[in-house]
Amino acid sequence: MVERVFITGVGSISPVGLTIDETWSSLTKGVSGIDTISSFDSEGYETTIAAEATDFDPQNYLDRKQAKRMDRFVQLAAAASLEALEKSGLTIDKTNEERISVMVASGIGGIITLSEQIGVLNSRGPNRVSPFLVPMMLPDMASGQVSMLLGAKGANYCTVSACASGADSIGMAFEAIRRGDVDGAIAGGAEAAICPVGVAGFNACQALSKRNNDPQTASRPFDKDRDGFVLGEGAGVLVLENESSINARGAEPIAEMIGYGATADAYHITQPGPEGEGGARAMNIALGKAHILPEEIDYINAHGTSTPLNDKFETMAMKSVFGKYAYDIPISSTKSMTGHLLGASGALEAAITVMALKNQTVPPTINLKNQDPDCDLDYTPGSNRKLPLTKAMSNSFGFGGHNASLIFQNPS
């Protein structure tokens, strides 16, 4: 028997809020989290803006010793996971610890720690490199540390599929629960790559917006004047459980997850496949697993990076999947407000999609002032919309040609 999978808890740290409720409130108001970089001196860089979680203090969630032994991306993951678990009401103890999995992804891992310790190596020599360098930089350490923090002893790993990492993590947790491998999972993604080498690296491959004089309008998905994405940081985490688990404790689910599709473009290291063919296949696979028709989707949270090719080809992919109905679906790119959280983006946007269903509200795409003729769908420009929503999709596409699509519906 295939298990049904429900979402019972949501947690996030984002550039627009330190809880999922704060994040959701900011998004529905069209608040941008993008500003001049404050975490390091960016003078001389082509891009001097980013979407930082500026008010995040790890010691509000962890003791000082714990926090010092975690890279920032792990701290973000821990905070979001603690919130998600608290909101779910799930207790992890001796009765279920071996049946609860943790799958928290990161596309890049501890790049801040790695770059800092390379500086130590170069300036002070090999004997001064921190013994915590390796366990702080590994991408799997968000998942590992969260499992230790929560006491979850089920399967524990980190998916690394660039900007699809967080979505793939949730998708793999969904599949594991459906198979009966585990009863529940803490799944999502975390990223913190706003540091000198992170910004310089993305500038070198011409991926970032250079709209430095007007940070809050720099991320403008589907706009004719878009010039690249804005680097963001944060974490998004969902608690997923099977039906037996929620029934046993009388939990009220927020949403049900019903579909997951993943594909590869097999085309280019950074560019999406022509006409979004790989993304279209991921959406079709997700729809097939959900056993629903394309016309049943009421909302799409697009990948919508604000890069020229991604937005154009994602639009083409949606037209390929939904046909004429594509013009009737409200779509939004919340990256217009949060920036691009890389490996955490799919997880945060899955959380936002769940909140859209819960609140029967489509968040806006801000900064869409001059719509690209090649991007001619309904991207919910400017302000949110209250609409009856039953089923919603969240898309994530990553460097290397990774594509993931998730589908959620109202619980029944």
Residue numbers annotated as active site: 163, 303, 340
Radius of gyration of the chain (CA): 20
- Return the closest-CA partner of residue 80 out of 243, 234, 295, 261: 234
Distance of CA 368 to the CA centre of its chain: 22
- The interaxial angle of helices 72-88 and 141-150, nearest 10 deg, is 40
Number of CB atoms found within 10 A of residue 330's CB = 21
Contact between 163 and 397 under an 8 Å Cβ cutoff? The reply is: yes
Contact between 181 and 226 under an 8 Å Cβ cutoff? The reply is: no
d(CA 156, CA 315): 35
Distance of CA 78 to the CA centre of its chain: 15
Where in 39-174 does DSSP place strands (E)? Answer: 49-50, 100-105
Report H helices in 250-378.
277-290, 308-322, 335-338, 345-359
d(CA 292, CA 252): 24
| CA dihedral over 95, 98, 100, 104, signed as positive or negative | positive
> 275-279 long-range contacts, Cβ below 8 Å, gap at least 24?
275/313, 275/316, 275/317, 275/320, 276/313, 276/314, 276/315, 276/316, 276/317, 276/318, 276/320, 277/317, 277/320, 278/397, 278/401, 278/403, 279/303, 279/313, 279/314, 279/317, 279/395, 279/397, 279/403, 279/405
237 three-state secondary structure: strand
Q: Provide the token pair at 327.
A: 């013009």
CA dihedral 314, 318, 405, 401 (to 10 degrees): -40
